[in-house]
Structure 1
Amino acid sequence: AFTLPDNEIFLASWHELGLITAKPVIYCANVDEAAVARGNAFADAVGALAAERKAGFARICAKLEEELQGLPEEEQAEMLTSYGIEESGLVRIIRTGYATLGLCSYFTAGPDEVRAWTIRLGWKAPQAAGVIHTDFERGFIRAEVISFEDYMSHENEAACRADGVLRVEGKDYVVRDGDVMHFLFNV
């Protein structure tokens, strides 16, 4: 694998070129129903190649994915369990894609809608706020943060605040995957 030099001018040119050979790669092995949970020799070989090349890897069963389409959630969960897996191939590919690209998501929640925002892993709160609007990043004051698990285990935001699971974070806070956030800003 080619190691990029720590040279600002070179890196700027490198990113501007957008070479397809420099893009992250995900290998996906399509297996039969018998191999969807534990794999087989061929899928294992593809997984080993992906690991060697520092690429993403996902194992799916396209036939099973087709059968899952249109089924209610309960029946989907039952079918996945019968094959010894917990999530669909589509979900596995999405997770692999996020991991390979170094992405995560945070949420904003209001009375009318909940929205997911995709950001790079390691971004700080002001950068994450800038995804919504550049004014949010420029005038960032602080963020109110609730972990996804805490948000889902409480009746509402007021209950989160009362139980002390709503935190106030500053400019140096590194956003975690699944955070529920509200930004305070002044422009």
Structure 2
Amino acid sequence: MNVGRDKIYPDCPTLIRTVEVGGLTKSQLLQKLQQHSILMNKLGERLFADDKFTISDTIYSVRAVEPKVRDLGFPEGTTIPQLFEKANQVGLKLCPLELGPHLRLEYLDQPEGHSGKPSWRHRAPYGSVTIASEILSKDVDFPKGFYLRRIEGALWLRGYIADDLHVLEPDDHFVFCQNENLKKKIPY
């Protein structure tokens, strides 16, 4: 593909959602996830339980933008650091880590990801959506963030591990925040 011909964000079709974040304790947020039968893998549980994962006691609104890797100018794929740098250049910012659980609670109608598709290791699964958030630890065995997935009807909030050399696929979906939309809304 020729990058010059592809439409690059913001001139490409992009899913945008406004999500309210914050206002719950970790235990309240976990309880809401459980009430909606949302599952977590071990990496998601580890990230959620870590003290580095903090949440706001104030409710605020986030405008979440979901481009594909190719929509940010990488038709052959790229690494996470390069993707995050390019997103910043076009006015997108990393999301607060707590957006992952809140977006999972909002995005209950996520399409099935793997139906009839092969599974693979070391790549984002079909239909998954990764939350672009600050990486809390350089330890390669510590989860880098959350991604959302629907597997055989079950909704998941999953953690993932990747290093700075891992190459993302052009059709991988990431969620970023629009810079001007991290606004405080209601004190808790």
Q: Same fold (TM over 0.5)?
A: no
Greater C-alpha radius of gyration: 1
User: Looking at both structures, which has the greater relative contact order when contacts are Cα pairs under 8 Å and sequence separation is at least 6?
Assistant: 2
Bigger proportion of residues as helix: 1
